[in-house]
A = this chain, B = another copy of it.
Amino acid sequence: MSETHTSDETEARDQLLAIAEQFYDQFADGDIPRMSLPTRSKSNIEYDEDADVWVYGDSQSTRSANSVRGARKLLKSVYTVDFLAQQLDEGRSSTLRELYYLSESWDEAEAQFNDQSESDKLVEDLEIVSGVKREDFHMRPEESGAKVMGPLRLREQTRRGDREIHCQEDVGQGGYQIPNNPDTIDFLDTDADFVLCVETGGMRDRLVENGFDDDYNAIVVHLGGQPARATRRLTKRLHDELDLPVTVFTDGDPWSYRIYGSVAYGSIKSAHLSEYLATPQAQFIGIRPQDIVDYDLPTDPLSDSDVNALESELEDPRFQSDFWTEQIGLQLDIDKKAEQQALASRGLDFVTDTYLPERLAEMGVL
C-alpha cells in the first residue's frame, strides 16, 4: 500500500529514520553514538502556566554507547526504528504489546526487550526525540476509546473506505465507538452547543435514556474511568476544531478529580503530548463536595487513600485555584465522597431536569 501514504506517514517515517541517520553520522565522525532526551522523572515535570498544561523541564539525559547498558539501549532503538519504518512502509499497524512479543523474532538477541514496560518506554522516548506521536508510528494503544452520542456528523477513514456517521441517527443506543486513532476522523457538521464528558457508564446511559444530548444539543462523551488517549484526543479536537465548550462530569472523589485533570491538564506520564491531548479550557461540573452538602447525597466515608490523594491534590499545581482549594478543603472537612449515580436518590430525572441545567447555566455553558 506504499502508494497511499499520507504526508503524516511519510513525515513520521522520515523523522524516525533521522534518528538512525544521526547514529550513522556520529559513527562516521568517529564519535560515540548517543541520543539526548528530556529527563522523564517527576522532578523534571513543569507546569506551563501559559499553556495551562504539564510539560518537561530543561533537564536532559543522554544515552551513549560508551557503556554496555547504553549501547544495548541504542541497539534496541535502532531495531525498533527499523520495525516502525517498515510498518509505515507497508501501511500496517500494531499494538505496544505486539511490539514487545515481536522483538522475540529479532535475529539479535541483545535487541530483544526484557519486558513490555521497556518497549513501552522506548516508544515514548522515540515520540519525544522524533517529535512524532505514537499514533503516527501506527502504534495502536491496547485500550480503545470510549463512546460518543450527540448531534455530530463525522467521516472516519477506515481500512475499508470512508464511513459517514451521524452520532445519533446512524448508531444504536450504544453510540459511536471512538477508533484507536481519532485523527482518522473528520468532523463534517454539528448542531452541538457543548461537549459533556461523563465518567461512568451508568450515568452515560441515564443521560442518553433521558434524551439529554437531544434536548440540550450536547455531545456526550463516555470517559469510562481514566480516559484513553483516543478519548482525550477526540475531546480536544471537538473543542479546538468545533469551538465547543468542554465540560467534565465525574464522581465526587479525588480519583475523579484526577480524571478531570487528565482531560484538562494532561498527565505526568504523557507530558510530551499535553499539547495534543489536553483541553485546558475544560470545566468541571461535579460531583463537587458542595453538591454532597447541598443535595444531601448518599455518601461513603473517605478512606485513608482518599485522604492522602486529596492532600496530594492540595499540593498539585493543577489544583491551586480558589475553587479547588475550597472544595478539597470542604471534602476533607465533611469526610465524605459521593458517586454521580447518587443523584438518583432524588429521582431518576433529577440529574437531567435540575442538576445539570442549573449547574451548566451557572457555568455559563447554557
Contact = CB atoms under 8 A, between A and B. Distances in A.
Interface in A75-108: 92-95, 97-98, 101-102, 104-105
Interface string A157-185: 01110010100111111111111100011
B179 A177 contact: no
Given A159-B209, A345-B102, A345-B105, A172 B180 contact: no
Contacts of A200: 142
Interface residues of A, number: 55
Nearest to A92: B348
Interface in A42-67: none
A33 interface: no
Contacts of A159: 173, 209, 211
A124 interface: no
A169 to B, nearest CB: 8
A170 B200 CA distance: 26
Interface stretch (A143-151, A273-281, A318-326): A143-151
A179 B173 contact: yes
A172 B168 contact: no
Given A172-B165, A184-B173, A202 B142 contact: yes
A206 interface: yes
Contact of A214 (B160, B168, B176, B202): B160
A19 B240 CA distance: 55
Contacts of A347: 102, 105
B176 A101 contact: no
A341 interface: yes
A344 B119 CA distance: 14
A154 B342 CA distance: 35
A25 B174 CA distance: 43
Contacts of A179: 172-174
A201 B102 contact: no
B163 A145 contact: no
A348 B209 contact: no
A163 to B, nearest CB: 6
B158 A173 contact: yes
B348 A205 contact: no
A205 B158 CA distance: 12
A269 interface: no
Nearest to A174: B177
Interface in A195-248: 200-202, 205-206, 209, 211, 214
Nearest to A147: B177
B298 A345 contact: no
Contacts of A158: 172-173
A346 interface: yes
Interface string A259-298: 0000000000000000000000000000000000000001
A156 interface: yes
A13 interface: no
Contacts of A211: 159-160
Given A93-B209, A174-B179, 13 more contacts: A95-B206, A95-B341, A102-B345, A102-B347, A102-B348, A104-B345, A140-B205, A145-B174, A147-B177, A158-B172, A163-B172, A170-B170, A172-B179
Q: What are the 8 closest A-B residue pairs judged by CB atoms, nearest first? A: A174-B177, A104-B345, A98-B344, A101-B344, A156-B172, A173-B179, A95-B202, A101-B345
